Amino acid sequence: MTRFAEDELTCDAFLGGKLHLWQPRRGRGYRAGVDPVLLAATVPAQSGETVLELGCGAGAAALCLGARVPGLRLTGCELQPAYADLARRNGGQRLEVVEADITAMPLHLRDRQFDHVLANPPYFDRAASVQSRDPGRERALGEATPLRDWVRIAAKRLKPKGQAHFIHRAERLPELLAALPHEMGSIEVQPLSPRPGRHPELILMRARKNGRGAFRLYQNLIMHKGARHLRDGDSYVPEIEAVLRHGAPLDFPAS
């Protein structure tokens, strides 16, 4: 599929309406959830800096970051033509979209280095999980390119002292750490739990090229109020609510 038909799309509000993104309708493809929004909220970018999102999909993470920090130079790399087309539509002049496999980027992208590289790699190793029937969702959720390659490529695209940023499943943290090249340091990990008393399901991780800071594992951040789901509605804690509804940053404790 090179592009979605208009009746296959919805235009959805993010960050309390500060950003609107065209996405496939439910059941027609991959739709961005809270994960890329949370990832974007942790990036301590400053106006004028350069940002690359690997596997940008429709552009959710990069554009959420751009909505919070004006003046960034945003680039996304996306393999699937239909999603690259959506990212261009969503980003306009704000987002440069390169349609390519992250393992085979064109030379003009491989020749560049960035202040920040962010990625929300596919979460599931399909050797131990069930494949989605939708090709777009499968590309977004099922791991085709090994996780270690996402980490290696992110590190290569960084300027000295640049930062790589990831969100992933908590059980894959050992793989993320093991994949970091030797020049990546100042590693910080923020676990995320859905509710009090629950183990972390997600982690946010960042590392700095040529960083020399100590490894930091922060206290678990709870996302929802209450021990269990009682009714429809998101019931986010105020810190997460501020990120999702108002475009606030999500600072790591040491930031």
Between CA 122 and CA 139 the distance in angstroms is 7
| 118 closest CA partner among 67, 63, 171, 173 | 63
What pLDDT does residue 137 have?
A: 44
The continuous run of DSSP H or E covering 12 comes out as strand 9-14
Q: Is the pTM of this model over 0.85?
A: yes
Half-sphere exposure of 183 (CA within 13 A, CB side): 15
Give 150-154 contacts, CB < 8 A, sequence gap 24+: 150/54, 150/55, 150/102, 150/119, 150/121, 150/179, 151/176, 151/179, 151/180, 151/181, 152/179, 152/181, 153/54, 153/102, 153/103, 153/105, 154/54, 154/117, 154/118, 154/119
CB-based contact 90:63 (threshold 8 Å):
yes
SS percent in the chain: helix, strand, coil, step 5: 30, 30, 40
What pLDDT does residue 2 have?
A: 78
What pLDDT does residue 234 have?
A: 64
Question: What does the angle CA 53 – CA 59 – CA 62 come to, to the nearest 5 degrees?
Answer: 50
Residue matched to tokens 């999909």? 57
| 250 closest CA partner among 192, 173, 210, 180 | 192
pLDDT in tens, the chain (255 residues): 678 999 999 999 999 999 999 999 998 899 999 999 999 999 999 999 999 999 999 999 999 999 999 999 999 999 999 999 999 999 999 999 999 999 999 999 999 999 999 999 999 664 554 554 555 444 444 567 999 999 999 999 999 999 999 999 999 999 999 999 999 999 999 999 999 999 999 999 999 999 999 999 999 999 999 866 665 556 899 999 999 999 999 999 854
What pLDDT does residue 141 have?
A: 47
The distance in angstroms from the start CA to the end CA of the chain is 42
What pLDDT does residue 131 have?
A: 53
Instruction: Quickly list H helices, 92-146.
Output: 107-110, 135-141
What pLDDT does residue 140 have?
A: 46
Rg (CA), the chain: 17
What pLDDT does residue 138 have?
A: 42
What pLDDT does residue 226 have?
A: 80
CB-based contact 56:81 (threshold 8 Å):
no
